[in-house]
Structure 1
Amino acid sequence: MKFTDGFWLMREGVHASYATEVRDLHVSSDHVTAYAAVRRVEHRGATLNTPLITVECFSPAEGVIGVRATHHAGKAHHGPDFELPGADAGSAATTRRDGTVTELTSGPLTLRLDTAQPWGPVFLDGQGRRLTGVETKGTAFATTPDGGHHMVAQLALGVGENIYGLGERFTPYLRNGQSLDLWQADGGTSSEQAYKNVPFYLSSRGYGVFVNHPGKVSFEVGSESVGQVQFSVEDQSLEYYVVAGPTPKDVLSRYTALTGRPALPPAWSFGLWLTTSFCTAYDEETVTSFVDGMAEREIPLSVFHFDCFWMREYQWSDFQWDPEVFPDPDGMLARLKERGLRISMWINPYIAQKSTLFAEGTEAGYLVRRANGDIWQWDLWQPGMALVDFTNPAAREWYAGKLRALLDQGVDCFKTDFGERVPTDVVWHDGSDPERMHNYYTHLYNRTVFELLEKERGGGEAVLFARSATAGGQQFPVHWGGDCFASFNAMAESLRGGLSLSLSGFGFWSHDIGGFEGTPDPDVFKRWLAFGLLSSHSRLHGNVSYRVPWAFGEEAVEVARRFTLLKHRLMPYLYGAAVEAHRTGVPVMRPMLLEFPDDPACRPLDRQYMLGPDLLVAPVFSADGSVEYYVPSGTWTHLLTGETVTGPVWRQETYGFDSLPLFVRPGAVLPLGADDQRPDGDWLEGLTLRLYAPPASLECVVTVPDQAGADAAVFRIVREGDRVRVTAQGSARPFRVEWGDTAAEGSGEVTLPVG
């Protein structure tokens, strides 16, 4: 939200009060509280009839410093609040005073405040270098003509500093220059609205900022004041955390340790998902024809998804199969399971009036009500639609109980659609503030479903396909990009959204291969197949038309088969990246910035990414196969052709539909499985360790996980002159080592000449 009219003036009717100087300072061993006047105090009389802003500085976790600025502390607090599972119950900070200077230090991060100077705390890294700071108008409150009271904060931008994140956003990848209201909305991928609003941004200077407020947070990123990131909330208090690096990976690791690390999705979820699509006509015969068609064309399929119309029209959600379309759901699911498929079902948190659950939920008090006691309803999406009140523990159990019956039928996971259309003119069971609950609702919704899956399916088997989320939602993977058009532009905007989400703490992300709205041109579909199958999760889904590959020609079938088989062979590597995301918060799909933070050319790149630490992927966004991409320093090897490229260099090339820029990082050791038919096979059976441009001083460790995320085998690779020695620990299984055309096999220890 903008408050000023240019640099000199305020907008009409807006009055702002800025922290100006410290009038009192309380310092304990791990906490600093400053009382800041909003005008210069030149005599005693100036302390009368004027506000103070109370600024508390503390550390919730190592390497994180929190700042809480409050005007009137007496406002009732109704919640909800972000859960912070990584907040340290003990002290994570120390303080130091030296004359007028006070410092609060947590790990490699220090807040410094000099009371002899005008108000302006600064944040320093472990070497004492300034990361950012609060300048003249950096701590304030503002009142607006509509009676609103806003707390406002600014943190300075350095020259050339880039800002990323703030959720899954489809606008330009760099947030600089953008005005953003973080407010959940069902706006598709072609608008400034977002399904996943996360009040966390990451800076190219090696720090992050998390605004600890679940309601609407307005950001002006170098926009209202071009040298500042401004964020504001309509409240009496504003709390934010500065998160230390020094690298972007370190920032994400600390941030996700605080707000929650992603669960590890089951290995089977990394295979290809196929759906009925949305508004298409389908029954068991249609589903069977799809599954048969994939098998006949030798395209391995892992998950089949039933979208909305598995239920009867006008009755979403009642979680009852449409008996006219699916007269034998138990038998159908059993037949699909016999073919080795997992089953996904579409659900949402809305209850149509025609649904039997409407009366049941109304009588029990499980649906959200207005202040006068009426059930909140409207006719968008479903007629007479109501909303489950997930702040009510009994309602959560009731909702989960309806899903439990589907799990008993053989369903494995759920697509938790929607969760953004949440009203604010309502009363919540637990007394939550409706404005704060609007964005947070999705967290309760996804958590309810995810925890049910964990309980019923056991640890390591829970996975969602979720559309909406906010901070902390990364704990309940997987998330997909929402409703995109079937075009190259939408393909590119989807990738921008995914990269933005990954820099907001989310480890796993997917999208609708081919686009959701409309029917893709075969060229779009084939290019999207390669991109989709080189994403963490891969799903064929559309709106009014099917996404079976043969609907787009025989070449599309070949492309689907080629990249599905490739993804399966990559599973020892990909699941290792998944385990890393689970343990550290570093995402599977990584913006180039994460792996190459010191390369300025990588900072703005939004049409390519790293898949795990060692694979560079540049999707092709054109029918003719032309693509421009950047290769960082070193000699990179194309995974499919063996061609080498030495960077740093920009490349402009043309690729057929069966390929794309897919390069292996120099010095990488890529573990490849032998089984290309399924994602959850035995990865140690026939395992190959392939070396790429091994340096003379190569010494590294490669770990192949098991499907629970534990280390199944650990390989130590050391280059000794003209040979490479690979020693296996934890496994006596035979393995193969390759470098170019040279290969050696054995168990325990293998030596390979490298010339």
Structure 2
Amino acid sequence: MKFTNGYWLLRDGVEALYAREAYELRANDEKEELDILATCRNVTNRADTLNLPTFNLTVSTPAEGVIRVRAQHWKGATPQPGFPLHYDEPGQRDYVTVTAEGEGDGEVGEKGATVALTSGKLTAKVVKGSPWNLTFEAEGKELTQSFGKSLARFKLSPAAAVSAQPVGEFGVSLNGQAYDESDVFTAIQLHLGVGEQVYGFGERFGTYVKNGQSIDIWNEDGGTASEQGYKDIPFYMTSQGYGVLVNNRGHVSYEVGSENTEAVQFSVPGEELDFCVIYGPEPKEILRRYTALVGRPANVPAWTYGLWLTTSFTTKYDEKTITSFVDGMSERDIPLSAFHYDCYWMREFHWTDFEFDKRFFGTIDDVEKTLKTFHEEKGLHICAWINPYLGQAGSAFEEARKNGYLVKKANGEVWQTDLWQAGMGLVDFTNPLAREWFKDKVKGLLAHGIDAIKTDFGERIPRDVVWCDGSPTLSMHNWYTQLYNQTVFEALEETYGKGNACLYARSATVGGQQQPVHWGGDCESTFNGMAQTLRAGLSLTSSGFGFWSHDIGGFEGAFPDPAVYKRWVAFGMLGSHSRLHGSTVYRVPWLFDEEDEKNGVVNAPGQTAVDVLRKFTLLKLSLMPYVYEMGLKPHAEGTPVMRSMFLEFPDDPTARTLDRQYMFGQSFLVAPVFTYSGDVEYYLPAGTWVNWFTGEKVTSASGVWRREKHDFDSVPLWVRDNSIIVSHEGAQKPEYAYGENALVSVFLEDGEEAHAHVSEIDGTGVEFVARKDAEGRITVESSDGREFTARLTVSDELVKSSNGVAVLN
């Protein structure tokens, strides 16, 4: 939100208090905190302290390399709730030091003296006097600072016109996205260095580099071609080596070099601002510390990495239609791992009542018989769609109403709307009884033979309601989705055990990364929609989310262009989770070949939609030893499966801005094709890269741009040097013994040694090590003597191991 009119003036109707002087400094060794009193004018004598507003700041550290700042104008005001933060145990805090200049009761005396809190290598320092200053530095380098006119409290009059957008309740528009219920905001600006770039904020569909953008953390169902997001996260990181979390569940407004071009400004409603600075300096280390602070993603079961097919948003769910799709995939040799029933498994107007529509599914015995057939004969896992809204025609609405499980208006009536399902109410997940009731409903669904749950919606949360636990209405808009998804995920874990739960969620806030998987919302079925989707995925996985998916072929659009569908298949299968889903048209591949024939397009051999989907599905299944290993890293380290080029190559200035390519784990570079013609331009960072399909080798000391043309069954897919890729050609499902009789491909040009750990589903594992001797000969060994086949890159001869050792010349 912009409060100023240029650099010098305020906007009409806006009054400001700025911290001007660090007046009192105290270092508290016992609490490991700094206490700072900042005045809103410079104080030259004691009389100046009369009628003088102040800010009280507390600087502390929850964990090593993390410093938390709480700034308050009025301490008696009701603060907005923050997120659950994981603090280190007191006995593990030998990394904290508190220092101060001066004597007497912990207070620093003369102007120019300092107090500092150090957490690991990160230090926060304040110098007594004017101008106001709060500096964060690490390893002898300044990271960022709040300096001068940067910590502020803004008071808005009813006539305030903060933007040219429509005016909200207090005369304030948040760029047309969210209207706050407060006439007071607290804000701070953290300085940006020259060339410093900013990333994150959750799922954002604009450019990956966020400099110059206005961003509101306010979840909305806005589609992928807008500035809104389904998963808005008040966290960002920068190329300067640090990240920032604003610890507020409600609305947070950012101006990323867009109000003050030299700073990131963030503001929240009310009299208090709470944020954490997190040091890296590498972006992976920032994510490691950030996810340790707010929670790491759970591990997901291996079957979820295979291909998912859905009914799409259509109404024909009879067994004959569904079976024709499942059997059609099998007949075309396209392995399918999961089948998803979207909305219409329940009767229209009844969503969500957890009852199968008897017109299509018969009795519940019939349902269980059908699902058992899918499980046992088709080898499928089954997912079902739900949302937290209860249409009044469904049985669940009346049950929830009678028991007080629905959100209410201030007058005590149940809040209802006709938007989506007629007369629907909203489950109040702040009510513990309502949570257990909803969880039992989910468990009942699982008992019929459902393996995963798609938790749709969670963004359309009203503001004019009363919550059971008394939560402030503003804070619940974003936080609601966490309570919703957490409830469902608990039902899954309590049924199937930790590491075996999977939901498919659209909305999220901080904490949501702990309940994977998330998908990218309602994207357009165009190349632009595909590019928007990738940008959103890169931003989300730069914000603590380890797993991510999207609708292959796009969701919106009556019938996606077959070219878009096929290009999207290559992109969608080279990610953590892969799902065919759309709006009014089923996304089975042969329908797109029929459309091509109608348009007089004759595909060359291998270029049909069926051929392309088969090829990339089998490719992903063959790479499951690698994919599964990468999928364990979000839980262990906070490192996502999909990674931006910045995340893997932060020291490469070119890589920092790229948002049309990505790293699939640590070793594969993928550059999706966004054109009908197959033309693509992408960048290979410095080093040696080998093309997975052709074996072509490229070596560059400074990075190289490439322009190519690709058929539909191809995509730029390169392997990083000093990698070992373990695979199983011919794999037909995602679950198998990954390390048994594996194919070990060695990419070792510039280094002398490479390692690959392969984890099995049962928790065991094997290590493969390749070493190069002085003559350039490479020896490959398995850690436990198991047999395997090895090769250099992808075009060399296969060499069988003997006693767990293979020698490659």
TM beyond 0.5:
yes
TM-aligned CA deviation for residue 674 of structure 1: 4.0
Say whether 1:557 aligns with 2:610. Answer: yes
The aligned amino acid for 1:44 is: R
User: Are the counterparts in 2 of residues 638 and 663 from structure 1 also a CA contact under 8 Å?
Assistant: yes
- 1:254 aligned residue (272, 289, 298): 289
- 2:737 aligned residue (650, 672, 682): 682
Residue aligning to 1:82 = 83
Residue aligning to 1:111 = 124
5+ long unaligned stretches in structure 2: 103-112, 159-169, 171-182, 594-606
Residue aligning to 1:16 = 16
The aligned amino acid for 2:781 is: T
User: Are the counterparts in 1 of residues 525 and 555 from structure 2 also a CA contact under 8 Å?
Assistant: yes
Residue aligning to 2:100 = 97
Which deviates further from its counterpart, 216-225 or 731-740? 731-740
TM-aligned CA deviation for residue 80 of structure 1: 4.3
The aligned amino acid for 1:84 is: L
The aligned amino acid for 1:135 is: F
Distance 2:730 2:591 in 1: 27
Map 1:14-163 onto structure 2 (within 5 A): 14-29=14-29, 30-77=32-79, 80-89=81-90, 91=93, 93-98=96-101, 100-125=113-138, 127-146=139-158, 148-163=183-198
TM-aligned CA deviation for residue 675 of structure 1: 4.7
TM-aligned CA deviation for residue 27 of structure 1: 0.9
Distance 1:345 1:246 in 2: 42
Residue aligning to 1:305 = 340
Distance 2:211 2:405 in 1: 43
- 1:243 aligned residue (261, 278, 295): 278
TM-aligned CA deviation for residue 280 of structure 1: 4.4
User: Are the counterparts in 2 of residues 723 and 751 from structure 1 also a CA contact under 8 Å?
Assistant: no
Residue aligning to 1:541 = 581
Say whether 1:386 aligns with 2:425. Answer: yes
TM-aligned CA deviation for residue 145 of structure 1: 1.0
Distance 1:426 1:117 in 2: 45
Which deviates further from its counterpart, 566-575 or 551-560? 551-560
Deviations 1:482-510 (A, max 9, x none): 00110000000000000000111100000
The aligned amino acid for 1:533 is: M
Identity %: 52
TM-aligned CA deviation for residue 191 of structure 1: 0.4
Compared with structure 1, are the counterparts of its residues 138 and 392 closer, same or farther at alpha carbon in structure 2 (3 Å cutoff)?
Answer: same
Residue aligning to 1:743 = 798
User: Are the counterparts in 1 of residues 748 and 754 from structure 2 also a CA contact under 8 Å?
Assistant: no
Compared with structure 1, are the counterparts of its residues 548 and 424 closer, same or farther at alpha carbon in structure 2 (3 Å cutoff)?
Answer: same
Distance 2:310 2:460 in 1: 24
TM-aligned CA deviation for residue 112 of structure 1: 1.4
Residue aligning to 1:202 = 237
Distance 2:7 2:393 in 1: 55
Distance 1:117 1:47 in 2: 15
User: Are the counterparts in 2 of residues 728 and 747 from structure 1 also a CA contact under 8 Å?
Assistant: no
- 1:638 aligned residue (682, 688, 691): 691
Deviations 1:80-125 (A, max 9, x none): 4311235545646211124512211001111111114521111111
User: Are the counterparts in 2 of residues 727 and 749 from structure 1 also a CA contact under 8 Å?
Assistant: yes
Say whether 1:517 aligns with 2:549. Answer: no
1:353 is paired with a residue of what secondary structure? coil
Deviations 1:251-279 (A, max 9, x none): 01100010011011111000000000013
User: Are the counterparts in 2 of residues 86 and 260 from structure 1 also a CA contact under 8 Å?
Assistant: no
TM-aligned CA deviation for residue 701 of structure 1: 2.5
The aligned amino acid for 2:327 is: D
Residue aligning to 1:232 = 267
Distance 1:39 1:11 in 2: 21
The aligned amino acid for 2:443 is: R
- 2:309 aligned residue (268, 274, 280): 274
2:657 is paired with a residue of what secondary structure? coil
Which deviates further from its counterpart, 86-95 or 412-421? 86-95
Distance 2:573 2:611 in 1: 13
Distance 2:268 2:780 in 1: 56
2:482 is paired with a residue of what secondary structure? helix
What's the RMSD between the two structures over aligned residues?
Answer: 1.4
Distance 1:197 1:114 in 2: 35
Distance 2:773 2:342 in 1: 56
Distance 2:544 2:752 in 1: 31
Residue aligning to 1:586 = 639
Residue aligning to 1:336 = 374
Map 1:726-737 onto structure 2 (within 5 A): 726-729=780-783, 731-737=784-790
Deviations 1:51-71 (A, max 9, x none): 110011000111000111001
Compared with structure 1, are the counterparts of its residues 465 and 89 closer, same or farther at alpha carbon in structure 2 (3 Å cutoff)?
Answer: farther
Say whether 1:599 aligns with 2:652. Answer: yes
Say whether 1:219 aligns with 2:221. Answer: no
2:685 is paired with a residue of what secondary structure? strand
Say whether 1:352 aligns with 2:353. Answer: no
Compared with structure 1, are the counterparts of its residues 88 and 468 closer, same or farther at alpha carbon in structure 2 (3 Å cutoff)?
Answer: farther
Distance 2:344 2:746 in 1: 49
The TM-score normalised by the length of structure 2 is: 0.91
Map 1:499-510 onto structure 2 (within 5 A): 499-510=538-549
2:422 is paired with a residue of what secondary structure? coil
Distance 1:738 1:85 in 2: 45
User: Are the counterparts in 2 of residues 31 and 58 from structure 1 also a CA contact under 8 Å?
Assistant: yes
Map 1:633-712 onto structure 2 (within 5 A): 633-647=686-700, 648-695=703-750, 697-708=751-762, 710-712=763-765
User: Are the counterparts in 2 of residues 297 and 557 from structure 1 also a CA contact under 8 Å?
Assistant: yes
1:334 is paired with a residue of what secondary structure? helix
Residue aligning to 1:400 = 439
Deviations 1:116-159 (A, max 9, x none): 4521111111x210011111122111101136111111100000
Compared with structure 1, are the counterparts of its residues 368 and 624 closer, same or farther at alpha carbon in structure 2 (3 Å cutoff)?
Answer: same
Compared with structure 1, are the counterparts of its residues 371 and 8 closer, same or farther at alpha carbon in structure 2 (3 Å cutoff)?
Answer: same
Distance 2:344 2:304 in 1: 23
TM-aligned CA deviation for residue 393 of structure 1: 1.1
TM-aligned CA deviation for residue 635 of structure 1: 2.0
User: Are the counterparts in 2 of residues 703 and 711 from structure 1 also a CA contact under 8 Å?
Assistant: no
User: Are the counterparts in 2 of residues 263 and 477 from structure 1 also a CA contact under 8 Å?
Assistant: yes
Corresponding residue pairs, total: 749
Deviations 1:626-672 (A, max 9, x none): 00100111221111111222331111110000001000001211111
Distance 2:758 2:237 in 1: 30
Residue aligning to 2:409 = 370
Map 1:483-502 onto structure 2 (within 5 A): 483-502=522-541
Deviations 1:310-355 (A, max 9, x none): 0000000001000001112111111111111000000000011111
User: Are the counterparts in 1 of residues 251 and 475 from structure 2 also a CA contact under 8 Å?
Assistant: yes
- 2:766 aligned residue (713, 719, 724): 713
User: Are the counterparts in 2 of residues 181 and 216 from structure 1 also a CA contact under 8 Å?
Assistant: yes
1:214 is paired with a residue of what secondary structure? coil
The aligned amino acid for 2:18 is: Y
Distance 1:574 1:88 in 2: 34
The TM-score normalised by the length of structure 1 is: 0.97
2:215 is paired with a residue of what secondary structure? strand
Distance 1:715 1:644 in 2: 23
TM-aligned CA deviation for residue 412 of structure 1: 0.1
Compared with structure 1, are the counterparts of its residues 473 and 601 closer, same or farther at alpha carbon in structure 2 (3 Å cutoff)?
Answer: same
1:320 is paired with a residue of what secondary structure? coil
Distance 1:403 1:50 in 2: 56
TM-aligned CA deviation for residue 224 of structure 1: 0.6
1:660 is paired with a residue of what secondary structure? coil
TM-aligned CA deviation for residue 21 of structure 1: 0.8
Distance 1:46 1:573 in 2: 66
Which deviates further from its counterpart, 194-203 or 88-97? 88-97
Which deviates further from its counterpart, 351-360 or 278-287? 278-287
Distance 2:304 2:283 in 1: 28
